[in-house]
Structure 1
């Protein structure tokens, strides 16, 4: 069990490579170009975040193993005191292997029937990336996860938003829900850790909260798209798809 709590980023890296191969498979002739097709761009969320998790919890750019936990504990006020920190390896596993993967599987399942659900899930890397960048500015220093935040999270999230809006499957006004989802997901994580530190909730309850946190994009996306406010994407290979994405 202890090995799983520390080695899961390596399994995630392998899964990321499989997903990248899947996304690179040949497409039907009627399909629009990949980078203009929301059904192709939206699932990039999953392998992108797995690569980020490997930088955070696998091996970062300085060659450190599992470096993000100490960084998070320092943010919570427990610098150099991992024994008292409310976050531990089980917490990182619950958040990243539990909650995040629920959100990302949902992204693949809903990419055609409700693109807004998937766009909301992209709020997680958007806010996460901004937090990584802000945390590395004062004092200026590399922190685990910074590289993928800069080269993957921000540019790909902006491209995703451009793609879904131009395709007409998400309205510009609905993009606010992407930000709301990311903020609430991170606020839930931090609040649960602070409540554990103050003895107001149990550690097991905190772990469960952060696994269930993965359902937040689904809940917000479905609520924001109630009443048919989102147009689904056509099936892959639909001859009308290229015209709609043009």
Structure 2
């Protein structure tokens, strides 16, 4: 079914009469999830389970000492998956304040309202992202996109063995631009604490192969967010495509951009 954004009637807002944008509270997330599909309200708990299981699988499937494993491009690439899964739990499960599903209301109120001016007309509660769109972005980009990228790394081998490092570039850009910078200027946001670790580990990993390679990884992160999130969400907001098209944008960007770079 259509997401919240398109299931509700158009609000009577306009540029001269913009939608109200009150600061989110601890109840904003639960209120947004009222009436959401079961999976849209609970997918992050799958991330909570998959995170330690995937980390254990990586450790058991790789050989050598810890130092040797961290020099293995396949190990480092796969590590981007459990790191981001843990990030999703703080973002969309419970954050460090104990707020449930806090990232979406906070994003729609702050960064989302700044980047997507259409929300002045559509209303900020579920714009630019609602629970359905949030599910599509997170499941498609991380569960599917990051994993497919690593499967391609194994299949293609050679210089493509480092494809997973580009997923770290995406993680770094998300951590820094989506969480740490807003934390500095606007205060804590859901996912910011885990972003410290994701950012530090990500920078460490991509910097091991020189500045040019690290720059390409970061470029990948910028392109991913610009195409998968910026272009994809804009196309949906403007009514040119259903929300399901965001799955194609996320999986395509997560896998094809690293191959091109």
Alpha-carbon contact 1:110-1:118 (below 8 Å) kept: no
Establish whether residue 34 from structure 1 lines up as the match of residue 81 from structure 2.
no
* Structure 1: stretches of 5+ with no match in the other structure: 166-170, 225-246
Distance 2:182 2:247 in 1: 22
> What is the 5 A alignment of 1:130-149?
130-131=176-177, 132-139=179-186, 141-149=187-195
Q: What does residue 218 of structure 2 align with?
A: 179
Establish whether residue 156 from structure 1 lines up as the match of residue 204 from structure 2.
no
| Structure 1 residue 148 displacement after superposition | 0.8
Q: Provide closer, same or farther for how the CA distance between residues 73 and 45 of structure 1 changes in structure 2, counting only shifts above 3 A.
A: same
Alpha-carbon contact 2:146-2:255 (below 8 Å) kept: no
Distance 1:69 1:11 in 2: 18
Deviations 1:86-117 (A, max 9, x none): 31001100000122222211243134411342
Distance 1:177 1:30 in 2: 29
| Structure 1 residue 215 displacement after superposition | 2.4
Which of 156, 161, 171 is the matching residue for 1:125? 171
Root-mean-square deviation (Å)? 2.5
> What is the 5 A alignment of 1:1-246?
2-25=37-60, 27-28=62-63, 33-74=68-109, 75-77=111-113, 81-83=123-125, 85-112=127-154, 113=157, 114-131=160-177, 132-139=179-186, 141-151=187-197, 153-163=198-208, 165=209, 172-188=211-227, 189-197=229-237, 199-202=238-241, 204=242, 206-224=243-261
Distance 1:67 1:45 in 2: 23
* Structure 2: stretches of 5+ with no match in the other structure: 1-35, 114-118
| Structure 1 residue 3 displacement after superposition | 1.2
Higher relative contact order (CA 8 A, sep 6+): 1
Deviations 1:38-91 (A, max 9, x none): 221221000000000111011111111111110121122259x55452310011
| Structure 1 residue 7 displacement after superposition | 0.3
Determine helix, strand or coil for the equivalent of 2:184.
Answer: coil
| Structure 1 residue 182 displacement after superposition | 0.9
Distance 1:117 1:24 in 2: 19
Number of aligned residue pairs: 212
Distance 1:121 1:161 in 2: 10
Distance 2:220 2:105 in 1: 26
